Chain A
């Protein structure tokens, strides 16, 4: 602990990030610019999320990191050990025990509480980016609330595929004002964004933006009247814990077409198996 300042970043940097977080919480869905620091990991590995986590962690916190729902993938393991080493905080894989959860591409299945903070890693914070390449123009569109273009993307989906084919990073409207990219979570998780008890913070390191959802914020997924939003998932039960209500990963088992569907949230799956639930593929 003497080698590093608590949670790696210096106090002035954390102060700057906290100010951005507070502003983000005050204007839900608004992208607050911040002076993103160089972190000891490449862009795309969660530098934004790590900086936000570093700014909100206290020595009493318990920290959990998930990557695509899993606690044991490279990204999750390396960020967890980074904070073990630089902050000395307790870490856990149990969702209910954690006070700060950093996540990439998922929201935990277990409902979060008011005592928790969920930190998202965001690659591209601008939902309009691929429709309007000019940053000056997209900022103007946000400030003037001109969001017709977002529906053009959904229109294109329907005209090409017959239904809204966007399945992740599905755009949402926050409190009837800002359109926000919820980071690349599956649209299955979109309904959990709204009215959540926990604070949700979004950090984009490379793009130098922070945005936030305070607890119990209204979040609506965009759609058409005749093509309403649908939170979709693979139509199977989990092969290990038999859960029918959780988001599933498809795992290829062999080159004979064998596959199994398992919960992407490993903690949720393990807890269910410990409670005696058993799927058809469980050994």
Chain B
């Protein structure tokens, strides 16, 4: 089976400082990869390099495109990469306001990607937007409200709907549950897990919350100072961490 996304030797430096160094892994269709590590360990840098938001200094990000098969997204032309960003890829930001247009209604936010790929029928766009809002458990009668009138958890769900409306195959998530309280977090995770399974999505999730990866991720990478120190199946890594830092991370989780 060809991997959906194959990351090879991604390196990003900020001057003398290392963002992430020599990271490689394969992501297969339907698989969810968790990336954990402390703040400043380079996990967001890695995610942004993969999603084309940052240009890596070295390495390849090969994506299995629908039209032409595996293709390096680092060297592909910008219009092509941005087209991927609107269609086959989705990016869920930690702060919903980074990923939403706060001055535009929820329906408009969800419909934007549809209009960006050429849909020009108002009734259809609105129908799909409403349908997606319902799938993320937002009442259809709030379709014309602006995200500013929504709670943090609802904003995050609108952001997810906006990203999934074009039926992407790969979702990048940067701390999708950060800043939400635990019960809202649990609902969001439940929703995400359902969507990922139903749509057969592949995802790579950056988080510092081990409970999130335990619930969502099939495989796990632990990062420290820009390097991957341990990788493996999620349960394996969490239950029997080998590297000293992974052991520290697992043992630092607060027990209630």
- Interface of A with B (CB < 8 Å)? 131, 144, 146, 148-149, 151-152, 155-156, 158-160, 224-227
Contacts and interface: CB of A to CB of B under 8 A. Distances in A.
Contacts of B123: 226
Nearest to A158: B122
B187 interface: no
Nearest to B82: A144
Contacts, number: 54
B120 A151 contact: yes
A94 to B, nearest CB: 42
B125 interface: yes
B121 A148 contact: no
A224 B115 CA distance: 10
Nearest to B144: A159
Interface in B40-92: 78-79, 82, 86
B226 interface: no
B222 interface: no
A151 B121 CA distance: 10
Contacts of B125: 155
Contact of A226 (B79, B117, B121, B143): B121
Contacts of A131: 101, 104
Given A144-B78, A159-B105, A159-B143, A152 B121 contact: no
A160 B120 contact: no
B236 to A, nearest CB: 43
Nearest to A132: B101
Contacts of A156: 104-105, 108
Contacts of B82: 144, 146
B116 interface: yes
Nearest to A222: B120
Interface in B84-116: 86, 101, 104-105, 107-108, 111-113, 115-116
A152 B112 contact: yes
Closest 7 CB pairs of A and B: A148-B116, A224-B122, A148-B115, A151-B115, A225-B121, A144-B79, A159-B144
Interface of B: 78-79, 82, 86, 101, 104-105, 107-108, 111-113, 115-118, 120-123, 125-126, 143-144
B122 A155 contact: yes
Contacts of B104: 131, 152, 156
A155 B144 contact: no
Nearest to A150: B115
B129 to A, nearest CB: 9
Contacts of B111: 152, 155
A160 B107 CA distance: 11
A148 B122 contact: no
Given A146-B82, A160-B144, A155 B115 contact: yes
A148 B78 contact: no
B64 to A, nearest CB: 23
Contacts of A227: 122
Question: Quick one: which of A146, A159, A224 has the most chain B CB within 10 A?
Answer: A159
A226 B122 contact: yes
Nearest to B121: A225
Contacts of B144: 159-160
A95 B116 CA distance: 41
A158 B143 CA distance: 13
Contact of B107 (A144, A146, A155, A225): A155
A146 B105 contact: no
Contact of B115 (A144, A152, A158): A152
17 contacts: A131-B101, A144-B79, A146-B116, A149-B112, A151-B115, A152-B101, A152-B112, A155-B107, A155-B125, A155-B126, A156-B105, A158-B122, A159-B143, A160-B105, A160-B144, A224-B120, A225-B121
A148 B117 contact: yes
Contacts of B116: 146, 148-149
A155 B125 CA distance: 9
B234 to A, nearest CB: 37
Contact of B108 (A146, A152, A224, A225): A152
A152 B107 CA distance: 10
A124 B15 CA distance: 39
B251 to A, nearest CB: 44
A143 to B, nearest CB: 9
A151 B101 CA distance: 14
A172 B85 CA distance: 26
A227 B123 CA distance: 9
A108 B122 CA distance: 33
Given A148-B86, A156-B108, 14 more contacts: A131-B101, A131-B104, A144-B78, A148-B115, A151-B120, A152-B104, A152-B112, A155-B111, A155-B122, A155-B126, A156-B105, A159-B126, A226-B122, A226-B123
Contact of B121 (A146, A160, A224): A224
B178 to A, nearest CB: 25
